[in-house]
Structure 1
């Protein structure tokens, strides 16, 4: 816990580019919701609203006045999202403002999550782009008051953030962003993930062109590229990344059954080996699904906690309602379900065709599907 005291600079654990801060009961609920869906964010809220899962979810709690936390956040984060009244925010940040070239973007959300307001460093600090992305994530109204709102293109470092997309590497963020801003030919190839990432009521800028495949994008010789895919690129496709970024949407679902007491190390290794064999990035995994008999299986719980995946389990009757290619009477005898990994994936993902129907490896059975959009 961070204890805030006058004259003492607090120590925070920064893992991401954006900080979310809340100080009220409703603000905390809203902040937890936003933290779940908004990639690259760290969450801070008051200790009196602790729920007991903060360490597991990498949430930092503090006691004392939030005013004393802000100087540290200003130095360390690119953007700060505050679920605090606008007037209070203005008063708290006024003494620590330095320069529009260095101050972070500051965005304020009202306590009910209805309005998202760009407050500080709208252009250079990226608060305008951040406002629109946060508003889209919360289905709220974006309020940007600068005279010339520059929301006419894609904010590369925030691309897909509200869906939880993550990039493979930040190495090319700056040059790719420069190509977007300078209206150079930019290619977009989307192989999976949410299609509604363009949130404005106007067409894409003419210099940003969508291509149906990486091969066609390479042929077009763009200056930069944004690739959205759960798939590991082939060697001949990697030329697109000379000035390109791969974004990983959360679209991959793992179904799993295992013997009681199977160690986390074995479960993890089966997952890693399987994803490599399927040419799938582990960064795109969204959930691990199983039968409710395994909801307390220590090995499964350890793995999902390590990777931050959703852990979903279904009762046998629900699993039996799903389509299954290879029903097993043996599995039914022990569990009441004719299968575990395959129907669990089908239920969660809604996919008709799976990347892997079922594979038995040691103590583990695994199936893999991709959420279709």
Structure 2
């Protein structure tokens, strides 16, 4: 595996896949960073190559050699926030020459080596470091340290809602008015059809002016003044009314089980994915992963699509796929691959669900199955 070489007066080449970066340089810090990286899916992880474990390539972890100080000039311009597991004093000295303006500097969050405290250091408001601190602390069960006086209210951060899970909002148009409604304690509806349920980050109960609903129609009947909608579905005309003062979030819940003939182009694979999601009325922003058999781990078309959309890519050996009960086992597929199916069991194994939304569809050179991950109520 190649490493990022950090040299004086030379900007390192990094691969940005997410909105946030995690950086660690010690043994305990790396262990903590790896754990956080699993929980905080919208993040890229960087650590020193001497702590290599062997799974970095499959997890898209980037390792570096040289002084970590020389990594930050490459991270600052491209990430919304940087989570650093290094002592606070050292971080301040390393980033000081890079600071420009609170409107452009990324949010900087520091975690101690034991993961007990998460500290908002830089760009607390505009850079989102205060809310990022709360998100990270919630993921680690740590104590958030925030010193901004006006940030003690403790409510939903509309612009960062679900960020630690990788949720994306469809449009920024209503972020400001909905945020104002939340801060002003107006009647707020949180409508969640899919995605992680443990989004409330505080020890206190959810305020009474924020109500949870399982459907848009149910929420509309209560006439909320603003809404946060979490769903992988494309809304119909009747439901779109909620967006008058609402923000639509796309949780990462869709798993695509896929098989294809050798040499299938990325264009064909991508087109079939788009068509299939359109038929299901699902948003492509909610796709989390493509899963397949290990025979396809180097399939160029699949790899190009995964890289384009920054999706997870997981492949299984035939015995792992054969452990999964499927509706359409195939002796022919078994003859050539050693597995009785590819797309169907791969989707089920990754998602953890027993029932697929789409069991299997063959189109051209591609076979596709679709699962929606199920997160139980807390």
> Per the shorter chain, which TM-score range?
0.7 to 0.9
- Matched residues in 2 for 1:34 and 1:11: separation? 23
Query: 2:84 — aligned with what?
Result: 82
Instruction: Say which is worse superposed, 228-237 or 76-85, in terms of deviation.
Output: 76-85
Kept in 1, the 8 Å contact 2:289–2:311? The answer is: yes
Query: 1:66 — aligned with what?
Result: 69
Kept in 2, the 8 Å contact 1:37–1:161? The answer is: no
Gaps of 5+ in 1: none
Structural RMSD (CA) = 3.8
Is 1:322 the counterpart of 2:305 in the alignment? no
Go from structure 1 to structure 2 and tell me whether the alpha carbon gap of 1:47 and 1:203 turns closer, same or farther (over 3 Å shift): same
Deviations 1:261-302 (A, max 9, x none): 222221111111101111111111111111222222222222
How many pairs were matched up? 370
Instruction: Say which is worse superposed, 34-43 or 328-337, in terms of deviation.
Output: 34-43
Query: 1:166 — aligned with what?
Result: 168
Structure 2 counterparts to residues 175-324 of structure 1, below 5 A: 175-324=177-326
- Matched residues in 1 for 2:300 and 2:107: separation? 42
How big is the shift at 1:76? 7.9
How big is the shift at 1:168? 1.5
Query: 2:352 — aligned with what?
Result: 350
* Secondary structure in 1 matching 2:220: helix
Kept in 2, the 8 Å contact 1:136–1:162? The answer is: no
Query: 2:343 — aligned with what?
Result: 341
Instruction: Say which is worse superposed, 299-308 or 352-361, in terms of deviation.
Output: 299-308
* Secondary structure in 1 matching 2:288: strand
How big is the shift at 1:179? 1.1
How big is the shift at 1:236? 2.0
How big is the shift at 1:310? 1.8
* Secondary structure in 2 matching 1:326: coil
Instruction: Say which is worse superposed, 106-115 or 181-190, in terms of deviation.
Output: 106-115
How big is the shift at 1:186? 1.4
- Matched residues in 1 for 2:321 and 2:277: separation? 24
- Matched residues in 1 for 2:264 and 2:271: separation? 12
How big is the shift at 1:260? 1.9
TM-score, length-scaled by structure 2 = 0.81
- Matched residues in 2 for 1:134 and 1:144: separation? 12
Go from structure 1 to structure 2 and tell me whether the alpha carbon gap of 1:84 and 1:366 turns closer, same or farther (over 3 Å shift): same
Kept in 2, the 8 Å contact 1:21–1:83? The answer is: yes
- Matched residues in 1 for 2:121 and 2:230: separation? 31
Is 1:152 the counterpart of 2:182 in the alignment? no
Instruction: Say which is worse superposed, 60-69 or 213-222, in terms of deviation.
Output: 60-69
* Secondary structure in 2 matching 1:107: strand
Kept in 2, the 8 Å contact 1:129–1:155? The answer is: yes
- Matched residues in 2 for 1:134 and 1:371: separation? 23
Go from structure 1 to structure 2 and tell me whether the alpha carbon gap of 1:80 and 1:191 turns closer, same or farther (over 3 Å shift): same
Instruction: Say which is worse superposed, 31-40 or 290-299, in terms of deviation.
Output: 31-40
How big is the shift at 1:44? 6.9
- Matched residues in 1 for 2:18 and 2:317: separation? 37
How big is the shift at 1:243? 1.8
Kept in 2, the 8 Å contact 1:21–1:45? The answer is: yes
TM-score, length-scaled by structure 1 = 0.82
How big is the shift at 1:4? 7.9
Go from structure 1 to structure 2 and tell me whether the alpha carbon gap of 1:341 and 1:70 turns closer, same or farther (over 3 Å shift): closer
**Match for residue 133 of structure 2 among 131, 134, 145:** 131
- Matched residues in 2 for 1:170 and 1:16: separation? 18
